[in-house]
């Protein structure tokens, strides 16, 4: 299955391009930049995209199939909360550049706006 390796490459690229700006909590550093390169040119939240890909990949290989849709719904609900919080932070710090970026690049599911 190609989703797993693609997800690993996506998260690797995301962390590389974020550099010292990577955080566990939803917050901005004092010298935070709006990263739009690497994986961030494909989706605004590539780490969440890779987590979804890894969930799908491992779920399709190992999970009892009726549980996978439930896991996906729970993941998407939590991710939507987190994405909206992070988008609010970025829009507050970078109003015009982030608005243009958000209009052009999907949140975390490629090709889905």
CA distance 45 to 60: 23
Rg (CA), the chain: 15
Residue 57 has pLDDT above 80, yes or no: yes
Instruction: Summarize pLDDT for 78-113 with one digit per residue, the tens.
Output: 999 999 999 999 999 999 999 999 999 999 998 776
CA distance 91 to 15: 21
- Put simply, whether the predicted model's pTM sits higher than 0.85 gets the answer yes
Place of tokens 């970026």: 101
CA distance 51 to 74: 13
């Amino acid at each position: 299955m190609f989703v797993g390796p693609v997800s690993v490459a996506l998260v690797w690229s995301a962390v590389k391009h974020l550099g010292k700006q990577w955080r566990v909590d939803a917050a901005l550093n004092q010298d935070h930049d709006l990263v739009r390169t690497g994986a961030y040119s494909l989706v605004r939240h590539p780490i969440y995209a890779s987590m979804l890909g890894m969930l799908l990949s491992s779920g399709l290989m190992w999970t009892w199939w009726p549980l996978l849709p439930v896991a996906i719904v729970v993941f998407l609900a939590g991710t939507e909360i987190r994405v909206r919080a992070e988008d609010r932070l970025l829009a507050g710090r970078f109003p015009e550049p982030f608005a243009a970026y958000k209009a052009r690049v999907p949140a975390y599911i490629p090709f889905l706006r």
